[in-house]
Amino acid sequence: MACFSLATQPSPMAMRRAGLLGRHFASPFRLLCRQISVEPQATVDRLKESGLLRTQGLIGGKWIDAYDGKTIQVQNPATGDVIASVPCMGRNETTNAISSAYNTFSSWSKLTASERSKCLRKWYDLIISHKEDLALLITLEQGKPLKESLGEVSYGAAFIEFFAEEAKRIYGDIIAPTIDDRRLLVLKQPVGVVGAITPWNFPLAMITRKVGPALACGCTVVVKPSEYTPLTALAAAELALQAGIPPGALNVVMGNASDIGDTLLESTQVRKITFTGSTAVGKKLMAGSASTVKKISLELGGNAPCIVFDDADLDVAVKGSLAAKFRNSGQTCVCANRILVQEGIYEKFANAFAKAVQALQVGNGLIEGTVQGPLINEAALEKVETMVQDATAKGADVVTGGKRHSLGMTFYEPTVLGNVNKEMLIFRQEVFGPVAPLMRFKTEEEAIQMANDTNAGLAAYIFTTSMPRTWRVSEALEYGLVGVNEGLISTEVAPFGGFKQSGLGREGSKYGMDEYLEIKYVCLGNLKGT
């Protein structure tokens, strides 16, 4: 029944593989690191005591196992150790989660905006006060460095805070009538039950930027987190309950992805699907939404160009490209996927960039100083290997890295490839790993053409000191986000989303609210009557 089979003691071999033995830790994460690496049981106890190590699904405010008792194991990608088992749910549990969200919609949507706002604000406060524990969970199940996990908690929480405020800023309209005894009103109302399907690369933030605006608007939600990273989602849901978000307003199911997805798609009670993940799954969800004509938001894959012009400040370009490429070991949809460098600065940039890449410390994310964790799984590692092999077979040079890391597991060496061209897979597809392909270009027109020569259109980066060029190129890029002289540009106050096959809709910012609202026109007629 219950799933508290916590295999938490990494084997000495696993710890050695991940570089956890024989290390001395320094502040600021010293205590945190020591608890996890040297006394894993203490870490689990700490998480248990905090009440955050939830290992069941959440339906109607109750923590539930899979009805058939099946479970899936959640592994630490840095060591291979099983952190916990969670229920492997499917159609029946999802149907009940939808009913629970549907029933709760009638009361949650009728609260005042201010009442909903207060619950969300409380949720934000609880996330912040459990920041360290949530960060530990993220690093344990996802592998990113603890410092990045702490950053994700702040970033993820910021969406709740922002949308708690936006809840009070949903405005309608009054339109000048065309007939004098009429008044024309526009109301904005919550769409209803939302199915939110999220990936593993940001186990918290991808949830909060969907659930935050949904709850703020008065919608209720069934979340399906990635089976690789359900523990952070469950911990966040526990804090939502503690914050007074009513049972049934936020439900979490995980397990058989296609059964859960299909149940959400087929239900007439689910009025919206919001998804972050691969383009292939996004297209399936879009097609599947057609039969019940659901509103849909999709945040799909990218193939971000990062254009370094001759007139760029070299240090700014190296620092920005490094951040845009290697954050989360290259596992984000806004990661620079193609670094296009103008021929006049190519050699200087390639040398400085490769030097910076060689300095990136790879290891278990719990060790202070680690900036590159493991990839999420073996399939991800094999994809990276295939793309590097394809590029080198077609003439690319390995400037640095280029193979599995000696730490084993799913660690891959931070890699720079030189002289990449359009014939290589890595130009067309997202590598989603720590590999930076460099390509040369001659003119601004050529760079724009190369940058736009893809079906993706999420993020793009340019490095230049010319203001006219900044305007020209920003306007010419067919991308939803453009970073100029900056590699990290996401924030809760700005719209995030893609052009072309990178998706539909926007998350974050005031625009993020519209995705969860219906527009209703009300015509008041016969005002001359009694």
Which amino acids are annotated catalytic? 299
Q: Minimum CB separation from ligand ADP for residue 264, in Å? A: 8
Q: Minimum CB separation from ligand ADP for residue 288, in Å? A: 8
**80 burial type by CB count under 10 A (0-12 exposed, 13-18 middle, 19+ buried):** middle
Q: Minimum CB separation from ligand ADP for residue 156, in Å? A: 16
Cα torsion at 420, 421, 423, 425 (round to 10°)?
A: 40
Instruction: Between 37 and 201, name the residue whose CB sits nearer to ligand ADP.
Output: 201
Instruction: Between 328 and 415, name the residue whose CB sits nearer to ligand ADP.
Output: 328
CA 149 to mean position of chain CA atoms: 12
Q: Which of 274, 244, 246 is nearest to 512 (CA)?
A: 274
**22 burial type by CB count under 10 A (0-12 exposed, 13-18 middle, 19+ buried):** exposed
Instruction: Between 208 and 226, name the residue whose CB sits nearer to ligand ADP.
Output: 226
Instruction: Between 352 and 375, name the residue whose CB sits nearer to ligand ADP.
Output: 375
Instruction: Between 433 and 480, name the residue whose CB sits nearer to ligand ADP.
Output: 433
Strands 270-276, 193-197: pairing kind: parallel
Q: Which of 473, 507, 508, 501 is nearest to 303 (CA)?
A: 501
Q: Minimum CB separation from ligand ADP for residue 453, in Å? A: 23
Q: Minimum CB separation from ligand ADP for residue 269, in Å? A: 17
Looking up tokens 């009442």 gives: 115
Which token pair is 315? 């240090």
Report the residue number whose CB is nearest to ligand ADP.
Answer: 261
* Per-state percent for the chain, helix, strand, coil, to nearest 5: 40, 20, 40
* Binding residues for ligand ADP (CB under 6 A): 197-200, 224, 226-227, 257-258, 261, 277-278, 281, 284
Looking up tokens 């307003």 gives: 249
Which token pair is 349? 């940039």
Q: Minimum CB separation from ligand ADP for residue 26, in Å? A: 34
Q: Minimum CB separation from ligand ADP for residue 299, in Å? A: 10
DSSP designation for 109: T
Q: Please provide residue 321's backbone torsions phi and psi, each rounded to the nearest 5 degrees.
A: -65, -40
DSSP designation for 429: S
Instruction: Between 375 and 416, name the residue whose CB sits nearer to ligand ADP.
Output: 375
User: What does the DSSP assignment read for 127-178?
Assistant: HHHTHHHHHHHHHHHH---HHHHHHHHHHHHHHHHHHHHHGGG---EEE--S
Instruction: Between 167 and 205, name the residue whose CB sits nearer to ligand ADP.
Output: 205
Q: Which of 207, 217, 276, 196 is nearest to 239 (CA)?
A: 207
